[in-house]
């Protein structure tokens, strides 16, 4: 084997122990909340048949799907012409029949269709798995990253929408965030607006433009709307909608006036009102004042969502959305199972990680696995330290004996580097007296304790 | 989008909620034990540079590595000749620079070399991730499967070997296995045997042959040894070694006689003895009688292991090894970091899953996520059931309200299919009295309880 200087594939990352602890902390918090709300975990394979993925993400998306080269003599079935052209795209179907998961949604749709006779509707699932995209890597954008999706299919009840707001709220609060906004909109309200203006065919242009309000302001939005085929009269109708202000109730009241002539628009408003009514019945009316915010400029994934749309932002750190989702009416149609409604949200795990890091919100314990290191003074002491180690572990204390009688300094820096909070010094005196010296690595303080006391101190977190 | 009948890529699997619960149960048990022994989790990317993986798994292995097609116009850099030949193998370097992880060992070696200035030795890590192999799929063999590896690098202490035996023992016992064997051998003992016979160059032939003792018996082994260049005199020397019997102490005593003239062989015996002495000092001497078994026919991964070798079998179910490992002295040499010793073991998660399934050892709770379903009798009752749902969840009880007032039968079969153990019937009478009816789905029994009582019953698992 030749020696090669090892490197990571472009756009990928290793996760060190402390990074893993933090990531697992986030996933475990989310997982516990999803389960408490009745969602079950599933996983799908890392690669799918290429035909399952192709055509689901638009032309640009198709290019970003990682294709897997067929095994064996993969060129044998290629017609001569296809090779001579050197046409990379045309050759793909002959040499690749598998591709890496690009998101969790399409594999979930395939899962639902393939398992439709085993699963009971409504089917509430969550899924936390990596996805892969052949994007140009840049700061914060990787070719391998985790998605975390929660969906329910087969239930049109708006209780589901309300519960997703509760899931977001509980998750972000448990993670320690104190100021965040859950924006909500409804696709039917957007449709209603386009109808009222008399340009239902321009709904996409309209939403693309007003979605940019935050970035380019009203003037910018207006000139883009004009470019996209709207008239100055349309802008006059749109202006109060775009600049909607006040409480959620105020906004819905204004919308109700403007959209009175659109049945679809009124349905959208009624849906938002029902979701809010659910929150109130849940005893969470205060969310409607502080956290949930009607935002009709919110239009993410418009071609996909058919009802409520969500997006979550933290107000504590400058960061894009840390989650989003909505209701869709045709998830599984692409695989031949029609009219199955669903609603789902996702959590942006990488961004949430960065937010918690910036706000210093990871629990201290999530950095360490071992709680106590027994210092190894001399091999002869092992007849004392090994039974001690066994007892600590039996009591459920994560413990290690340094595996050789190296210099104390080396052993202490091992504990330091591994962020082990305590070391146990077991010298001749300690063995004689049965009172061991426990040292807090952060403060340098020491205390003496018997093995029994030690276990209580470490288990209860009451050691100095 | 065309409707296509969806299918899984060959050799891959979906994991349904109940399968996920069981897999997570295994992984969580293992993870907790690894941490208690001081191992930290890491993860490496799903794909590596192809050059990182090529040449590490032998010629056959190279063929089984899934290669990822380069993105974009991947044919543009191919020299014309390489295409005209239609030589699949020669073309690979031009059109693929990335490949899917084939095992966890090579990426771990890369990790250690790349992070050598950040990590503190000894570095104790575990890793639970899928790997991919382009094997022909068959019963029990998948193209995507999980590996679960635990290693320590940078410590030559045999304490590590002893601790791995404890890790195996604790893990299998916690998982509910009652009868298993941890076989141990030492590469140096095998070297010693080949030396004593005077044919050190035939060590691989010798071990390949005696490794088959279980399958082909002594006669078979003998004829294979003759074919591979051993003489009848050699067989006479080998016979008592191959048929070694008695306790571990008996076996080591016999070996000590046979290998007296081989320094390497004697070192191997001394290493086994030290590992056993560690177990005794740990207070686990009983393992040496019931669980640990010296087996000099054990030779797995011979080209790789340099010291102790392990293999684990359950005696309760007919199944190949469910784990194995050993010490190696040159893990990172392939990436230019020499003389870093290590020792590691792995758990065969898929096989352990099958064993637990066959022995019915999965805990009942690992099938369900939701503990109680509130039946939805009528929308009007939601002003009562929603606050109730919120209270249950606040108390940490995984709970759902069926999202629509469908027929009772439909709601009950939802609970049944999802293996929800309890349903809560909240009709007019219950709302009036404040005493709710809790029904055990398995027994059909019902009991009345106030909300407060209910929470206690469900939290403590004391409901009927």
Say what angle helices A187-197 and A203-210 make with each other, to 10 degrees: 110
The verdict on B38 touching A (C-beta cutoff 8 Å) is yes
CB pair distance less than 8 Å for B370 and A38: yes
CB pair distance less than 8 Å for A335 and B5: yes
Pairing of strands A40-41, A123-132: parallel
The answer to whether residue A439 is domain-embedded is yes
Confidence of residue A242 (pLDDT cuts 50, 70, 90): confident
Indicate the average pLDDT of chain A: 93
**Token pair 């939005």 is at which residue?**
A221
DSSP string of B318-339, one letter each residue: --S-SEEEEEES-SSGGGT--S
Confidence of residue B369 (pLDDT cuts 50, 70, 90): confident
Report chain B residues whose CB lies below 8 A from the CB of A135: none
The answer to whether residue B331 is domain-embedded is no
CB pair distance less than 8 Å for B69 and A67: yes
CB pair distance less than 8 Å for A6 and B66: no
CA distance linking residue B250 with residue B274, whole number of Å: 16
Asked whether the beta carbons of A399 and A421 are under 8 A apart, the reply is no
Residue of A nearest to B395 (CA): A36
For A261, half-sphere exposure in the C-beta direction (CA atoms, 13 angstrom radius) is 7
In this structure, the answer to whether residues B205 and B127 fall within a common structural domain is no
Average pLDDT (A266-277) is: 98
Confidence of residue A140 (pLDDT cuts 50, 70, 90): confident
In this structure, the answer to whether residues B347 and B210 fall within a common structural domain is no
The verdict on A72 touching B (C-beta cutoff 8 Å) is yes
Average pLDDT (A221-236) is: 93
Segment B264-311, tens digit of pLDDT: 999 999 999 999 999 999 999 999 999 999 999 998 766 789 999 999
pLDDT at A181 > cutoff 80: yes
Q: Supply the range of the domain harboring residue B447.
A: 368-460
b/e map B372-383, b = 16+ CB within 10 Å: bbbbbbeeebbe
CB pair distance less than 8 Å for A417 and B120: yes
The verdict on A188 touching B (C-beta cutoff 8 Å) is no
The verdict on B26 touching A (C-beta cutoff 8 Å) is no
Cβ within 8 Å of residue B10, ≥6 positions away: B137, B143
Give percent of chain B with pLDDT exceeding 90: 83
CA distance linking residue A96 with residue A92, whole number of Å: 6
Q: How far is CA B6 from CA A41, A59, B132, B231, in A?
A: 21, 21, 22, 60
Last residue of a domain, one of B325, B354, B383: B354
What CATH number is attached to the domain comprising B222? 3.30.930.10
> Which residue did the predictor score with more confidence, A281 or B81?
A281
In this structure, the answer to whether residues B59 and B88 fall within a common structural domain is yes
- Closest C-alpha to A273, from A259, A219, B112: A259
The answer to whether residue A211 is domain-embedded is yes
In this structure, the answer to whether residues A264 and A131 fall within a common structural domain is no
pLDDT at A432 > cutoff 60: yes
The answer to whether residue B361 is domain-embedded is no
Q: Which residues 362-381 on chain B approach chain A with CB closer than 8 angstroms?
A: 369-370, 373
Amino acid B1: pLDDT: 46
CA B53 to chain A, closest CA, distance in angstroms equals 10
CA distance linking residue A392 with residue A459, whole number of Å: 10
Amino acid B464: pLDDT: 85
The answer to whether residue B117 is domain-embedded is yes
The verdict on B66 touching A (C-beta cutoff 8 Å) is yes
CB pair distance less than 8 Å for A76 and B88: yes
CB pair distance less than 8 Å for B118 and A16: yes
**Token pair 């050699």 is at which residue?**
B234
CB pair distance less than 8 Å for B78 and A91: no
In this structure, the answer to whether residues B422 and B307 fall within a common structural domain is no
The verdict on B81 touching A (C-beta cutoff 8 Å) is no
In this structure, the answer to whether residues B148 and B189 fall within a common structural domain is no
Confidence of residue A308 (pLDDT cuts 50, 70, 90): very high
In this structure, the answer to whether residues B78 and B97 fall within a common structural domain is yes
pLDDT at B115 > cutoff 80: yes
The answer to whether residue B440 is domain-embedded is yes
Average pLDDT (B87-113) is: 95
The answer to whether residue B171 is domain-embedded is yes
What CATH number is attached to the domain comprising A395? 3.40.50.800
Q: Cα angle vertex B98, ends B94, B103, to 5°?
A: 135
Report chain B residues whose CB lies below 8 A from the CB of A88: 72-76
In this structure, the answer to whether residues A25 and A128 fall within a common structural domain is yes
Confidence of residue A321 (pLDDT cuts 50, 70, 90): very high
Report chain B residues whose CB lies below 8 A from the CB of A282: 386-387, 389-390
CA A4, A5, A6, A10 torsion-angle sign: negative
Q: How far is CA B262 from CA B68, B186, B191, B267, B457, in A?
A: 49, 14, 9, 9, 67
pLDDT at B3 > cutoff 60: no
Q: State both tokens at A101.
A: 């998961």
CB pair distance less than 8 Å for A35 and B64: no
The verdict on B404 touching A (C-beta cutoff 8 Å) is yes
Q: Cα angle vertex A400, ends B110, B298, to 5°?
A: 60
In this structure, the answer to whether residues B165 and B195 fall within a common structural domain is no
CB pair distance less than 8 Å for B110 and A284: no
Segment A95-136, tens digit of pLDDT: 999 999 999 999 999 999 999 999 999 999 999 999 999 999
Annotated ligand binding at B256? The verdict is no
Instruction: Tell me how crowded residue A282 is: count the other CB atoms within 10 A of its CB.
Output: 20
Q: Which residues 217-256 on chain A approach chain B with CB closer than 8 angstroms?
A: none
CA distance linking residue B309 with residue B298, whole number of Å: 7
Task: Sheet with B123-132: list strands edge to edge.
Answer: B40-41, B123-132, B144-153, B342-347, B323-328, B308-314, B180-186, B292-294
Q: Note if the bond before A122 is cis, omega within 30 degrees.
A: yes
CB pair distance less than 8 Å for B398 and A130: no
Confidence of residue A449 (pLDDT cuts 50, 70, 90): very high
**Annotated binding residues of A for L-histidine:** 103-105, 133, 147, 151, 300, 304-305
**Annotated binding residues of A:** 103-105, 133, 147, 151, 300, 304-305
The answer to whether residue A143 is domain-embedded is yes
CB pair distance less than 8 Å for B47 and A397: no
Segment B357-368, tens digit of pLDDT: 999 999 986 556
Report chain A residues whose CB lies below 8 A from the CB of B2: 55
Average pLDDT (A25-46) is: 96
The verdict on A108 touching B (C-beta cutoff 8 Å) is no
- Closest C-alpha to A423, from A389, A378, A373, A387: A373
Helix, strand, or coil (residue B26): helix
In this structure, the answer to whether residues A197 and A169 fall within a common structural domain is no
In this structure, the answer to whether residues B286 and B221 fall within a common structural domain is yes
Segment B310-351, tens digit of pLDDT: 999 999 999 989 999 999 998 899 899 999 999 999 999 999
N-to-C CA span, chain B: 52
Question: How big is the A-B interface in CB pairs under 8 Å?
Answer: 309
Helix, strand, or coil (residue A369): coil
Amino acid A1: pLDDT: 46
Annotated ligand binding at B104? The verdict is yes
Helix-strand-coil percent breakdown of chain A, rounded to 5?
45, 20, 35
In this structure, the answer to whether residues B307 and B204 fall within a common structural domain is yes
Name which of A68, A118, A286 to mutate to probe chain B: the one with the most chain B Cβ atoms within 10 A of its Cβ: A68
- Closest C-alpha to B126, from B152, B107, B145: B152
Helix, strand, or coil (residue B153): strand
Annotated ligand binding at B327? The verdict is no
Phi, psi of B381 (to 5 degrees): -75, -5
Name which of A10, A29, A34, A46 to mutate to probe chain B: the one with the most chain B Cβ atoms within 10 A of its Cβ: A46
CB pair distance less than 8 Å for A130 and B69: no
Q: How many domains does chain B have?
A: 3
Confidence of residue A216 (pLDDT cuts 50, 70, 90): very high
- Closest C-alpha to B103, from B139, B137, B62, B69: B62
pLDDT at B211 > cutoff 90: no
Annotated ligand binding at B31? The verdict is no
């Amino acid at each position: 084997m030749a020696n090669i200087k090892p490197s990571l594939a472009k756009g990928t990352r290793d996760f060190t122990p402390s990074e893993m602890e933090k990531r697992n902390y986030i996933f475990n918090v989310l997982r516990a909340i999803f389960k408490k709300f009745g969602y079950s975990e599933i996983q799908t394979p890392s690669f799918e048949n290429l035909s399952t993925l192709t055509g689901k993400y638009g032309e640009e998306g198709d290019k970003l799907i990682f294709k897997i080269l067929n095994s064996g003599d993969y060129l044998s079935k290629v017609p001569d012409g296809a090779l001579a052209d050197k046409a990379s795209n045309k050759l793909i179907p002959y040499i690749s029949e598998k591709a890496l998961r690009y998101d969790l949604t399409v594999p979930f749709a395939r899962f639902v269709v393939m398992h439709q006779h085993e699963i009971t509707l409504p089917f509430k699932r969550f899924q936390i798995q990596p996805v892969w995209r052949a994007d140009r890597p840049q700061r914060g954008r990787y070719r391998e990253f985790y998605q975390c999706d929660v969906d329910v299919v087969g239930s049109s009840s708006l209780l589901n929408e309300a519960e997703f707001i509760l899931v977001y709220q509980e998750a972000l609060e448990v993670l320690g965030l104190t100021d965040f906004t859950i924006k909500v909109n409804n696709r039917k309200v957007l449709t209603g607006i386009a109808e009222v203006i008399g340009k239902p065919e321009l709904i996409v242009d309209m939403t693309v433009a007003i979605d940019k309000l935050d970035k380019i302001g009203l003037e910018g939005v207006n000139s883009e709307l004009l470019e996209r085929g709207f008239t100055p009269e349309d802008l006059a109708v749109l202006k109060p909608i775009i600049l909607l202000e006040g409480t959620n109730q105020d906004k819905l009241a204004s919308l109700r006036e403007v959209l009175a002539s659109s049945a679809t628009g009124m349905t959208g408003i009624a849906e938002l009102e029902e979701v809010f009514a659910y929150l109130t019945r849940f005893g969470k009316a205060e969310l409607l004042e502080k956290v949930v915010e009607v935002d009709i400029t919110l239009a993410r994934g418009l071609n996909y969502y058919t009802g409520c749309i969500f997006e979550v932002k933290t107000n504590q750190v400058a960061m894009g959305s840390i989650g989003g989702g909505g209701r869709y009416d045709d998830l599984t149609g692409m695989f031949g199972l029609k009219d199955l409604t669903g609603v789902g949200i996702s959590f942006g795990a990488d961004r949430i990680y960065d937010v918690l890091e910036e706000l210093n919100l990871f629990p201290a314990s999530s950095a360490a696995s071992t709680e106590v290191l027994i210092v190894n003074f001399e091999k002869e002491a092992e007849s004392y330290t090994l039974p001690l180690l066994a007892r600590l572990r039996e009591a459920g204390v994560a413990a290690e004996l340094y595996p050789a009688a190296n210099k104390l300094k080396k052993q202490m820096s091992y504990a330091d580097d591994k962020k082990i909070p305590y070391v146990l010094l077991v010298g001749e005196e300690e063995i004689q007296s049965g009172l061991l010296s426990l040292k807090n690595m952060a403060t340098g303080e020491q205390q003496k304790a018997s093995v029994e006391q030690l276990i209580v101190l470490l288990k209860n977190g009451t050691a100095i």
